[in-house]
Amino acid sequence: PARPMYAGQLPKGLQTISNIVAVSSCKGGVGKSTVAVNLAYTLAGMGARVGIFDADVYGPSLPTMVSPENRLLEMNPEKRTIIPTEYMGVKLVSFGFAGQGRAIMRGPMVSGVIDQLLTTTEWGELDYLVIDMPPGTGDIQLTLCQVVPLTAAVIVTTPQKLAFIDVAKGVRMFSKLKVPCVAVVENMCHFDADGKRYYPFGRGSGSQVVQQFGIPHLFDLPIRPALSASGDSGVPEVVADPQGEVARTFQELGVCI
């Protein structure tokens, strides 16, 4: 897809990346990082050159969800650039790999840190950079979207009616920035037990999103202990079980991007 409008010149560090995909949610804890990481490893499994940028400076999940051997970002002192760490061929940058612990910062500082991490990294040639966005649609998110020429956005939500209102906010933010929302992922939508399927948070708000906003794709992810366990173990589910139901859903999502 054509690049959307963005403020200013394309930062040098991003010039060798073909597609930048934002994975976004309006609340924390809905599975945004889980989707970002599994989507990235799915694209890599399809043969693409992929990087993940964890922009969630307040609560970086990437260091928990993937387990690279080198857990600290390296600097190139001459060029004053950051060299990403890597796990299974995917390049990784997170504030959690900067050796600073969790951040207590005001918004403008956070935006500065995100901007520096993102634009001074030597990403090299990438087909996709997946950005795990900070949750919400505030100033930090807007600044990030203005610095980065996003090619697509994926919105992650849970099935409650309340979450629908949040998704609407996210869709509006991206449409203002002229970034196409290609898919909504409804996470934790059901679980199976005793041969029956249960929908603990109700049904139907996902299809409402698709109808109301014309988003072309809707994906359901079940509640699965394995998904949570793989998140904690440092090996993404799509890597641990590449033939499984979750991996198949991510492959379908991967081809929409």
Near ligand ADP in 32-71, by CB under 6 A = 32-34, 61
| Contact in structure between 184 and 167 (CB atoms under 8 Å) | yes
Token pair recorded at residue 123:
């990403």
Among 223, 234, 244, 251, binds ligand ADP (CB under 6 A): 223
Give the interface segment with ligand ADP, choosing from 45-53, 92-100, 105-113, 218-226 (CB under 6 A): 218-226
Closest to ligand ADP by CB, 30 or 73: 30
E strands of 90-223, at which residues? 90-94, 126-132, 152-157, 181-187, 191-193, 196-198, 217-221
Nearer to ligand ADP, 6 or 117 (CB): 117
Given a contact cutoff of 8 angstroms between Cβ atoms, the answer to whether 22 and 154 are in contact is yes
Which of 13, 114 has the CB closer to ligand ADP? 114
Residue type, 156: V
Rounded CA gap, 105 and 16, in Å?
Answer: 30
Q: Does 227 bind ligand ADP (CB under 6 A)?
A: yes
Here the tokens at position 118 are 């993102």
Nearest residue to the partner ligand ADP, using Cβ: 231
Binding ligand ADP by CB under 6 A: which of 19, 26, 31, 121? 31
Nearer to ligand ADP, 49 or 247 (CB): 247
Q: How far is the CB of 33 from ligand ADP (least distance, A)?
A: 3
Stretch that binds ligand ADP, among 10-18, 42-50, 117-125, 225-233 (CB under 6 A): 225-233
In sequence order, which residues have a C-beta less than 8 Å from that of residue 110 and are 6 or more positions away?
Answer: 57, 58, 103, 134, 140
28 binds ligand ADP (CB under 6 A): yes
Residue 30 binding ligand ADP, by CB under 6 A: yes
Is residue 240 at the binding interface for ligand ADP, with CB under 6 A as the rule?
Answer: no
Burial of 136 (0-12, 13-18, 19+ CB in 10 A): middle
Smallest distance from ligand ADP to CB 38, Å: 9
Tell me the torsion sign for CA atoms 175, 111, 135, 55: positive
E strands, the chain, are 17-24, 50-54, 74-76, 81-83, 85-87, 90-94, 126-132, 152-157, 181-187, 191-193, 196-198, 217-221
Which residues in 161-190 contact ligand ADP (CB under 6 A)?
187-188
Among the listed residues 245, 12, 47, 52, the one whose alpha carbon sits nearest the alpha carbon of residue 149: 12
Which member of 224, 233, 234, 240 binds ligand ADP (CB under 6 A)?
224
In the set 221, 235, 247, 257, which binds ligand ADP (CB under 6 A)? 221
Per CB under 6 A, 249 contacts ligand ADP: no
Query: Which spans of this chain sit near ligand ADP (rule: CB under 6 A)?
Result: 25, 28-34, 61, 187-188, 221, 223-224, 227-228, 231
